[in-house]
Structure 1
Amino acid sequence: RRLVPRILVVEDESHLAEGLQFNLEAEGHVVEIAADGARAAARLAANDPPIDLVILDLMLPEMNGFEVARRARAAGNYVPILILSAKDEAADVVRGLEEGGDDYLTKPFRLDELLARIKGLLRRRRWDGVPREEETQRSVQIGGATVHFDRFEIESRAGVVRLTTREAALLRALVERSGQAVTRGELLEDVWGLRADTNTRVVDSFIVRLRRYLEEDPARPKHIVSVRGHGYRFCP
């Protein structure tokens, strides 16, 4: 692996993109700029040379940042994505994380905070969507459904449900701690790479989805149960 990280800045405001490039190059990174979503998607699809981290604005010409992230993940590219946007509504944070974003900063942001987030994302061993044989099961039985972590699928009598990267990661995090109460903070750190004290309901939103996929009666869950004042517990 190359020693110098290559960062793709996807930003249509040229003064901000150039400012980021200047500061990141001063930190020793190689920086490329894509001024619109279509160029960013094409660059990530080619991935030659490989990109180590993406700084992604949401509001872009040609193709928005949500779609750029979604396409990268759908193609099996799990490069860390740091979303930058003036949008700070909770729905945008949740959607950005859902589509594959690993972290989220709203404009205006402090340079030192941005650099700290980048350092953390580059250092952290990201969950890459490909289970390692020695670490986890490829599939697990939950009630009448079979979860295939290697295929991002839940198979049941009702059919097959395709999981997003984060849905699969959240379920895996719970399954690997079967019978244990897991806090929201632990899940934010393990699944999304966010600080445990991040103010977001994204964990709860994703739990609702997993229950819809797996529970016979999502309102009375048997497998993904709430632990009052703590978080959630997986019961096989």
Structure 2
Amino acid sequence: MKLKILIVEDDNSVAEMMQMFFQKEGWVSEIATDGIQAVDMFKAKPSAYDLITLDLNLPKKDGIQVAKEIRKISPAVPIIMLTARDSEADQVLGLGVGADDYVSKPFSPLALIARIKALHRRIMIEEGQHETEDAPINKDFDIKTAHLKISKARREVLFDGKTVADLTPKEFDLLFTMAQKPKQVFSRDKLLELVWGYEFYGEERTVDAHIKKLRQKLERVGANVIQTVWGVGYKFDDTQAEK
């Protein structure tokens, strides 16, 4: 696969290192060194980029604002956020504005490349599935539990008839994965494998940050259905939910 990547990074040595490793993969990349330049470059040719690596700490306009503006232009372009910050709050903030993954600095270039490949591969599979759908969209739901209904084709989630709104792609995929097997406990590593498409290079905090945001959005409609199994992982269970 040949990718074109927008590297948004104000540290020239890091940006050039990333560009060198990407070139070895046969990928083309361009560098933006501040937030304003990044938004301008993407706005000028949004369809030209297959993926964005986005530093959180940027001059002129930080990574959070850049991600928000990019998401207004393109809801779908994959974004991997890079940052030296190492707190759950920063991860949740970045993922909450639409980043697909989160990598803490310092990072291994090979690990970053593995994540990019896994993310791109998963997107290609999903797009291929959409392209092969010849029939009109089925108005039924793929998953029906006591309280929840989920349509994968429409990316629609209903809890007791109320829409669970504003789910990011990864939040939806997490919920869909767990709701397929109610009460089954999924370890963080297993969720990384099933939702992100890789095992070894995953960070458990990526799962925790997405789960936290997913819970917040579910709880807006009273859906307290994602449970923590301490020391193990998470499970979906709506048998205790009340209508």
Q: What's the TM-score bracket when you normalise by the shorter of the two chains?
A: 0.7 to 0.9
Alignment equivalent of 2:222, drawn from 215, 220, 225: 215
Counterpart of 1:187? Answer: 191
How far apart are residue 8 of structure 1 and its match?
0.7
Q: 1:210 to 1:29 in 2, by over 3 A?
A: same
Question: After superposition, what is the alpha-carbon deviation per residue over 1:29-54, rounded to whole angstroms, capped at 9, x for unaligned?
Answer: 11111112222223334445521121
Counterpart of 2:111? Answer: 113
Question: After superposition, what is the alpha-carbon deviation per residue over 1:79-128, rounded to whole angstroms, capped at 9, x for unaligned?
Answer: 22222211112221232223222333222223333333333333333687
Counterpart of 1:36? Answer: 34
In structure 1, the residue corresponding to 2:99 is in which secondary structure?
coil
How far apart are residue 207 of structure 1 and its match?
4.7
In structure 2, the residue corresponding to 1:79 is in which secondary structure?
coil
| C-alpha contact 2:64 2:94 (8 A) present in aligned 1 | yes
| C-alpha contact 2:167 2:217 (8 A) present in aligned 1 | no
| C-alpha contact 1:226 1:233 (8 A) present in aligned 2 | no
> Normalising by structure 1, what TM-score?
0.72
**Match for 2:215: what amino acid?**
V
**Match for 2:166: what amino acid?**
R
**CA–CA distance in 1 between the matches of 2:162 and 2:237?**
22
**Match for 2:212: what amino acid?**
S
Counterpart of 1:91? Answer: 89
Counterpart of 2:121? Answer: 123
Q: 1:181 to 1:51 in 2, by over 3 A?
A: same
Q: Which moved more, 1:153-162 or 1:78-87?
A: 153-162
- Percent identical residues: 32
Q: 1:151 to 1:103 in 2, by over 3 A?
A: closer
| C-alpha contact 1:53 1:80 (8 A) present in aligned 2 | yes
**CA–CA distance in 2 between the matches of 1:173 and 1:72?**
27
1:64 and 2:62 aligned:
yes
| C-alpha contact 1:142 1:214 (8 A) present in aligned 2 | no
Q: Which of the two has greater helix per residue?
A: 2
Gaps of 5+ in 2: none
> Normalising by structure 2, what TM-score?
0.70
**CA–CA distance in 1 between the matches of 2:149 and 2:197?**
27
**Alignment coverage as a number of residue pairs:** 229
**Match for 1:82: what amino acid?**
I
Counterpart of 2:21? Answer: 23
How far apart are residue 10 of structure 1 and its match?
0.4
**Match for 2:94: what amino acid?**
G
RMSD: 3.9
| C-alpha contact 1:100 1:166 (8 A) present in aligned 2 | no
Counterpart of 2:175? Answer: 171
